[in-house]
Structure formats: C-alpha cells, structure tokens
C-alpha cells in the first residue's frame, strides 16, 4: 500500500463532520452572521451518508478485539492511560468500546485531539471562522487551481460520495485534498467515517459526566492543514485518485492491525514505503511530503507530550486518546514519554 495514503488516513482531520455540521446549521438558520455569508450563493446538493454495509466481512472473535492501550506510570505515583484511535470503524467498534470503557471510567478526564462534539455545538459563525483559511475569497473558484481533467475526476468522486460538490467550489486546494480523501474512504471501502473511536469515547464521557479535555484545538489542526502549499495538495489529490482501487485492501491491513492491538504491525504499515512510488516523486515532491510528515506528526507529537506530562505532573489521571500514528516510532508518544522518565506498558485486556 502506498505510504502517502497510509499516513494520510491517520491525519485526516474531522473536516467532513465539521462541513456537514455547518450545512445542517446553515439550512436550519436562514440568517447567519457575516462570517458565513460566503455560503449564501452555494447550493447544498446532498448530505453524505458515510455508513456502508459490511455484511461481506466474516464474523470476528471478540477475544481478538483489543486496540492498543498503554498504562503510563511515574515514580511519584502518577498514572494515566495512552490510547491510539482511528477515525473510521465498523461493527467491531462496539466490542472495542465496551472493553475500553472500564479504563475510561476510572479516570478523571478524557483527553482527545479536540472535542468535536463540543465544537459542533458552537455557533455556526464561530465554526465558519475556523473554515475561513480554506475559503477562496478573491472571486476565484477551485477549478481555476486544478487541471480540468483532475478537477472533473475529483468532482465526480465527491458526487459519488454524495458530498455537496457544487458548494465545495468556494473552497481551496487544502480543503479539496481532505474531501477527496474522505470521498475515497466513503465510496471505495466498507468502513464508516461516523464510527471512529474518538467520537464514541467523547459521547460516553458526556453521558457519564466525565470531563473531556482538548489536547490541541480545532483551530490548530485546521490552521496547519490550510497552510500547506498548493503543490502538496495537488499531489495528494492526484495520488488519491490514482490509488482508488487500493483503498479497501489498504484500510483492511491498517484496521486489522489496529483492532488487534498489534503495535509492531501498525508501525510496519505506517513506515512501509513503496520503492516504485518514491522513485516516481521529484526531489521537490519528496521534500513536500517530508515537511507534511514533520508538521502533522513530529512537531505535533512534541506538543501532545507536553500536555500529557503537564497532567501527569499535576496528578490528574487522564485517558489520553489521540491518533494511533502519534504513538509509534522514535518520535512517537511512547518513546517521548519514556524519555521523560515514565513507564509505558501495553495492556492485555
């Protein structure tokens, strides 16, 4: 499987959820603040149905379902949990969640990259402000920034995924890079984008009155994504469309490693490189991809480590749940917390 695709799956922010939330809000509120006037001329074609039947999947032994969970302890009695999430799911998520909840319930708080449930409850005008870096405000449209054939293929994929392609014309390449990726997940796999573990954990904690904390923020994630150059976003759109036939197999490989808690296999899949693919990239393209990985993983890992250490030092028992790609490798959270003197032990549960 292509490394670019594998890495991007972990990095796909919750843009689809945010976009659909905004559509719902705009349809239900005819008068919206000036921040959302940009949508006044856009038409909403349809809402995305991200649920895909998975009857083709064979029954799974519940005993094999145990996504990787780590117990973090310090020499002064500090304690917490480190969990790697994934943003897609299937019916196995119910079993995984049931096994995880006893550990969540014994904590003072759940920490996630950002609380998408709380974000969706913010006024539409505030949500639109977060999206402004993705909006073309100079009168241009997305088709001005893509070769005609590429734009047509991308638009066709969005329509196939029942995403509002006509509305998306007001957004830039950074947004389209994310949306084309999510459209591929919707149309080419039998996984559900609404069944990610992040949202399930957040909703459980709301129901149980357990505090939910942001490790980062929606503003931070979207500002990083919006700042990548057009050359990188075009490359990502091209690669997504080129590799559509590989999506199901790629997700299966990654998801199976995740649901089984196989840390070594997850690391192997994430680090896997296709020699032919890498050779096809120009030196500039390789530099762009390296910068993407550095900003989306390496640099963010440092900030996540600081938050985890802050809460551990304060004596807070936190269930720290972030994308699984942030845990592995020498610059991942497991290694970073160990370097700070904490013991990190994978649990069998």
The string of pLDDT tens digits covering residues 136-185 is: 999 999 999 999 999 999 999 999 998 876 778 889 999 999 899 989 98
Q: 343-346 and 109-112: which strand pairing?
A: unpaired
3-state class (DSSP) for residue 345 = strand
**Is residue 143 one of the residues assigned to a domain?**
no
The string of pLDDT tens digits covering residues 221-275 is: 889 999 999 999 999 999 999 999 988 998 898 899 999 999 999 888 888 766 6
**Is residue 147 one of the residues assigned to a domain?**
no
**Is residue 224 one of the residues assigned to a domain?**
yes
Q: Which of 314, 281, 259, 327 is nearest to 76 (CA)?
A: 314
Contacts for 18-22: CB closer than 8 Å, 24+ residues apart: 18/116, 18/119, 18/120, 18/127, 18/130, 18/131, 18/218, 19/179, 20/47, 20/48, 21/120, 21/127, 22/124, 22/127, 22/128, 22/131
**Is residue 181 one of the residues assigned to a domain?**
no
Give how far Cα 335 sits from Cα of 30, 339, 344, Å: 50, 6, 9
Q: Which domain holds residue 215?
A: 3-27+74-131+192-346
**Is residue 215 one of the residues assigned to a domain?**
yes
**Which pTM was predicted?**
0.86
Q: Phi and psi of 23, rounded to 5°?
A: -60, -45
CA–CA gap between residue 65 and residue 94 (Å, rounded): 10
Tokens at 64, concatenated? 């094999």
Q: Which of 88, 93, 95, 94 is nearest to 250 (CA)?
A: 88
The string of pLDDT tens digits covering residues 79-103 is: 999 999 988 889 999 999 999 999 9
**Is residue 220 one of the residues assigned to a domain?**
yes
The string of pLDDT tens digits covering residues 4-51 is: 555 555 555 455 555 655 555 544 443 333 333 333 333 333 344 554
CA–CA gap between residue 151 and residue 253 (Å, rounded): 30
| Number of domains present in the structure of the chain | 1
Q: Say how many C-beta atoms besides its own lie within 10 A of residue 44's C-beta.
A: 15
**Is residue 122 one of the residues assigned to a domain?**
yes
CA–CA gap between residue 227 and residue 15 (Å, rounded): 15
Average pLDDT, the chain: 84
**Is residue 14 one of the residues assigned to a domain?**
yes
Tokens at 82, concatenated? 């480190």
Asked if 142 and 165 count as a contact pair (C-beta separation under 8 A), the reply is no
Strands (E), 167-317: 211-214
């Amino acid at each position: 499987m292509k490394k670019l695709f594998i890495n991007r799956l972990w990095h796909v922010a919750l843009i689809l959820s945010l976009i659909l939330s905004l559509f719902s809000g705009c349809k239900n509120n005819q008068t919206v603040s000036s921040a959302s006037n940009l949508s006044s001329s856009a038409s909403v074609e349809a809402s995305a149905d991200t649920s895909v039947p998975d009857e083709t999947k064979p029954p799974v032994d519940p005993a094999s379902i145990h996504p990787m969970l780590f117990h973090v302890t310090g020499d002064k009695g500090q304690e917490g949990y480190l969990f790697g999430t994934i943003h897609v799911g299937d019916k196995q998520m119910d079993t995984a969640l049931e096994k995880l909840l006893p550990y969540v319930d014994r904590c003072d708080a759940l920490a996630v990259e950002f609380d998408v449930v709380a974000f969706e409850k913010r006024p539409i005008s505030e949500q639109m402000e977060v999206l402004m870096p993705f909006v073309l405000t100079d009168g241009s449209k997305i088709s001005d920034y893509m070769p005609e054939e590429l734009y047509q293929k991308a638009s066709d994929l969005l329509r196939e995924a029942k995403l509002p392609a006509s509305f998306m014309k007001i957004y830039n390449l950074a947004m389209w890079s994310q949306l084309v990726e999510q459209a591929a997940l919707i149309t080419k796999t039998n996984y559900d984008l609404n069944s990610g573990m992040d949202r399930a954990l957040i909703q459980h904690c709301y129901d149980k009155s357990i505090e939910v904390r942001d490790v980062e923020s929606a503003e931070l994630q979207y500002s990083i994504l919006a700042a990548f150059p057009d050359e990188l976003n075009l490359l990502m759109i091209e690669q997504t469309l080129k590799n559509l036939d590989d999506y199901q197999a790629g997700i299966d490989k990654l998801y199976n490693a995740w649901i089984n808690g196989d840390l070594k296999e997850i690391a192997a899949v994430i680090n896997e490189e296709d020699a032919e693919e890498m050779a096809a990239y120009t030196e500039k393209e390789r530099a762009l991809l390296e910068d993407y990985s550095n900003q989306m993983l390496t640099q963010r890992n440092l900030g996540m480590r600081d938050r985890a250490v802050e809460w551990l030092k304060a004596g807070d028992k936190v269930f720290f749940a972030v994308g699984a790609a942030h845990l592995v490798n020498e610059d991942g959270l497991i290694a970073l917390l160990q370097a700070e003197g904490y013991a990190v032990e994978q649990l069998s549960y």
